[in-house]
Amino acid sequence: MSLMDRDMNKRTVDGVAGQMGAAPRRRLRIDVDGLKRRWFRDAKGERTTLPREFQEIKRPLLDAALGRGMPALANGRRIMVTSALPREGKTFCSINLALSIAAERDHGVVLVDADVARPSVPRELGVRTDRGLIDCLLDDSLSPAEVVCGTNIKRFSILPAGIRHRNATELLSSAAMSRFLDRLSRLYPDEIIVFDSPPLMVTSESRVLASHMGQIVLVVAAGETPRDVVNEAIGKLGSTAIAGVVLNKMSANRRAGYYGLY
């Protein structure tokens, strides 16, 4: 075990997640070994085949968010991860990106499960949640701090999708969503907020959500998603800038990762 691993283990104690903004009122325990077995970013800091790729993905995003070598983007700390179609791996990439950012000593991260019609972040992380984003949209008196969940991974918190609601996707397009995002950003001014968004070609809500973001990452399934579908998805964003593209599901003998700026 390296000195860095020992330091991480010392500071990452069950029930004492490293949240840099408002302290979460709930704590969740993530099965770190389970994440490693499923090819997610190893939250203990041990090397896998993925960390180097996600380090490359996060670096320009953090530079733009924090104004490193360039003016900081407006709302640059809000990063939306989406795809053109379902099952391209956007949730996989959202979780790995968030964990990679949390591995930075100076940056906390809040991972928001904004795919409210088909929430999957808690399932993929192996945790059980109740209240979340939809609950806040339905009740303005509910503070984001009441639903953001800390974890046993330092600097890594989760905002679940929340209660199932028949009008959940419409709520993402409401004025309540704008108010909520402003409250969330004020409450966690130093965190990077990563949103796992619905696919662009499936709902219009992802396009509305994109209008509130500073950066957008588009996940594309290599060898699966037609080029014209990717172009159509980009076109649906209109003037909203795309920060970059992640080419996902590449074969082992080919290099995956961040390959372009738009």
pLDDT tens-digit series, residues 51-99: 788 888 999 999 999 999 888 888 999 999 999 999 999 999 999 999 9
Q: In what order do the strands lie in the sheet with 26-28?
A: 26-28, 149-151, 156-159, 109-113, 192-196, 78-83, 215-221, 244-248, 257-260
Q: Looking at beta carbons, which pairs linking 253-257 to residues 24 or more positions away fall under 8 Å?
A: 254/222, 255/53, 256/53, 256/222, 257/53, 257/56, 257/57
The number of domains in the chain is 1
Give a yes or no: residue 148 inside a domain: yes
Residue type (1 letter), 196: D
Under DSSP, the state recorded for 207 is H
Give a yes or no: residue 211 inside a domain: yes
CB-CB neighbours of 125 under 10 Å = 26
For 203, the token pair is 């709902």
Write down the pLDDT at residue 47.
59
pLDDT averaged per 10 residues in sequence order, the chain, 262 residues: 33 39 78 78 61 88 91 92 94 94 91 93 92 94 94 95 87 90 94 95 87 93 90 84 80 47 34
Give a yes or no: residue 193 inside a domain: yes
Q: State pTM to two decimals.
A: 0.84
CATH number, residue 121: 3.40.50.300
Residue 108 contacts by C-beta under 8 Å, 6 or more apart in sequence? Answer: 18, 19, 20, 21, 102, 155, 156, 157, 188, 190, 191, 192
- What span, in angstroms and rounded, lies between the C-alpha atoms of 186 and 110? 13
Q: Tally the C-alpha atoms within 13 A of residue 15's C-alpha that lie toward its C-beta.
A: 0
Give a yes or no: residue 12 inside a domain: no
Give a yes or no: residue 126 inside a domain: yes
Give a yes or no: residue 13 inside a domain: no
- Going by their DSSP bridges, the two strands 109-113 and 192-196 should be labelled as parallel
Give a yes or no: residue 163 inside a domain: yes
Give a yes or no: residue 6 inside a domain: no
Residue 101 domain boundaries: 20-260
Write down the pLDDT at residue 86.
93
